[in-house]
């Protein structure tokens, strides 16, 4: 794979990096769509006690965006670095992200930088297909198009880097669009001792989901060993090739047909 040392000439203007985004317990409970949590009263009691713990801090655009060619207007690979404080919350869930649905056109890949995390992903089909798996340093996961995903860090602090396609070249999170526009997946992560399990939440369909085990990454799909190095150093052809290969997964029926 060829790497370059400089940002592409047609993207020489690098926008300023957004300020880090800190998400606390109050942000999780404040989701307008109604957060899916195991025990909201237990979590609200923490807030009433005067504590509003930090769940994670996200540095959006941790590295400069990379443009992608295409006839439909500007499209970029962007990269975020997210640090989870780690532990288990008062309701028995891992310290976690808020969770959100990806737009159907968006491509996204996660890689654990340090620590261990558990990723819960799922669709809105009937029956639903969900994935729950543990990931350690260097492990990667591909988010299927249009799926919901959330990250938990029950075993301690953890850091995750993710790359994703976006027509917005920069800017912080569109909170209303990302967290408040659609009800979350009605499943959550619970801890059974030291082991995470998928648990249906209130309002979950009566039809049990199809549960995928193992890392959510297609067999035979070559991914960069280091996503962050790839984002900053890959040439335009490599950036476009990864997008094309990920976009082609939908035609294969992955992951339901895996």
User: How confident is the model over 204-248, as pLDDT tens digits?
Assistant: 999 999 999 899 999 999 999 999 999 999 999 999 999 999 999
Residue 113 forms beta bridges with which residues? none
Per-residue pLDDT tens digits for 77-132: 999 999 999 999 999 999 999 999 999 999 999 999 999 999 999 999 999 999 99
Domains, the chain, with CATH or none: 9-252 (2.60.120.10)
Confidence of residue 29 (pLDDT cuts 50, 70, 90): very high
For 200, the token pair is: 């249906």
Specify the pLDDT at position 1. Answer: 38
Longest Cα–Cα distance in the chain = 54
For 123, the token pair is: 């669709």
H/E stretch holding 28 reads helix 25-29
Spatial CA neighbour of 179 closest among 203, 200, 148, 142 = 148
Mean pLDDT of the chain: 89
CB of 182 closer than 8 Å to CB of 98: no
């Amino acid at each position: 794979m060829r790497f370059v040392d400089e940002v592409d000439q047609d993207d020489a203007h690098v926008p300023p990096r957004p300020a880090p985004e800190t998400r606390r317990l109050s942000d999780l409970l404040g989701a307008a769509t109604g957060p899916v949590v195991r025990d909201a009263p237990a979590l609200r009691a923490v807030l009433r006690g005067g504590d509003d713990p930090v769940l994670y801090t996200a540095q959006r655009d941790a590295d400069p965006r990379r443009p992608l060619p295409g006839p439909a207007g500007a499209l970029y690979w962007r990269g975020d670095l997210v640090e989870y404080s780690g532990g288990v919350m008062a309701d028995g869930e891992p310290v976690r992200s808020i969770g959100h649905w990806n737009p159907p056109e968006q491509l996204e890949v996660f890689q654990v930088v340090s620590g261990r995390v558990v990723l819960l992903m799922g669709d809105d089909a009937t029956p639903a297909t969900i994935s729950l798996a543990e990931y350690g340093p260097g492990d990667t996961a591909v988010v299927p198009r249009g799926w919901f995903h959330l990250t938990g860090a029950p075993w301690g602090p953890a850091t995750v880097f993710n790359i994703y396609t976006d027509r917005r070249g920069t800017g912080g999170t569109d909170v209303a669009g990302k967290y408040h526009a659609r009800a979350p997946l009605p499943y959550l992560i619970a801890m059974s001792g030291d082991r995470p399990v998928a648990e249906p939440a209130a309002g979950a369909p009566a039809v049990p989901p199809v549960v995928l085990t193992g890392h959510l990454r297609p067999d035979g799909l070559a991914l960069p060993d280091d996503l962050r190095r790839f984002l900053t150093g890959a040439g335009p052809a490599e950036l476009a090739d990864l997008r094309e290969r990920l976009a082609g997964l939908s035609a294969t029926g992955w992951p339901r047909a895996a």
